[in-house]
Amino acid sequence: MNNANIKPAIIAGSGLLTMPELLIDEAVTVDTPWGEPSGPVYRGRLNGVEVLFMTRHGDTHAIPPHKVNYRANIAALAQMGASHLLAYNAVGGIGADCAAGSLLVADQIIDYTWGREHTYYDGGEGGVEHIDFTSPYDEALRQVLIDAADSGGVTIISQGVYGATQGPRLESAAEITRMARDGCHVVGMTGMPEVALAREKNLPYASLSLVVNPAAGKASGPISMADIEQILDERIPVVRGIISRACALVSALPRATC
């Protein structure tokens, strides 16, 4: 495949509203058959690569996880010619290794969300299809994120199960105990249906998770928003570095890696 067709798209989550190192050429308001995306899709250059960038919760972080129009977001990026989707999510840590500040690239997901528009194959004109979801994340793209962390000397947990909850409230301690029993290592509110929709569009997708708090019941007392803000302040520059290096590494990948 010609590198001209490689166009990684970054889906940015909590704490990451802008990337100053992204040189923006245009902001595009994209119409999709699924309604309005969370905001404009920015086209620009990052680390020498043409990329797309959008914020999952909108540019002012006004859209809660259960109201994000995931179908429109993925469709908008596909319409803009995205070849690979690199997502960033803030999460709570469940696994013993997942202390606040850790970074993880999930290889599996369990969906606890409900009531979200979660498929393009909704019957009628959309048709009926059952995509394979055995390995929800694209393995080559996951490796890109891991290599991008390694090459920057950043420690990263290279696999784990992301438990996707409905939000916007955080979980009870008992819910987290159940999720730990289910095998979840981290918990977040935005992993689904995003990764499934990417698979339906045949777009390779991988996600970088930043643990911003111990999940409910994993530390003494309630979850502190001030502590979350502090972790975001400290670690978002590291996240930006990984994503930026990952965009350069994506250039070496074929498009159809699913």
Q: Tell me the residue number closest to ligand HPA, measured at CB.
A: 92
Pairwise CA distance, residues 196 & 205, whole Å: 9
In angstroms, what CA-CA distances link 155 with 163, 186, 242, 243? 22, 17, 11, 14
Closest Cα partner for 67 from 42, 35, 89?
Answer: 35
CB of 34 or CB of 162, closer to ligand HPA:
162
> Least Å distance between CB 135 and ligand HPA?
23
Q: Which tokens sit at 190?
A: 């935005």
> Least Å distance between CB 166 and ligand HPA?
10
Which chain residues interact with ligand HPA by CB under 6 A? 90-92, 165, 170-171, 187-189, 212-213, 215
Q: Which residue is associated with the tokens 């908008």?
A: 76
- Is residue 68 within 8 A of residue 55, CB to CB? The reply is no
CB of 102 or CB of 213, closer to ligand HPA:
213
> Least Å distance between CB 213 and ligand HPA?
5
- Its sign, for the CA torsion 180, 184, 186, 190, is negative
DSSP 135: S
Q: Can you name the residues that pair with 205 across neighbouring β-strands? A: 85
CB of 80 or CB of 99, closer to ligand HPA:
99
> Least Å distance between CB 176 and ligand HPA?
8
CB of 15 or CB of 241, closer to ligand HPA:
15
CB of 70 or CB of 120, closer to ligand HPA:
70
> Least Å distance between CB 191 and ligand HPA?
9
- Is residue 73 within 8 A of residue 31, CB to CB? The reply is no
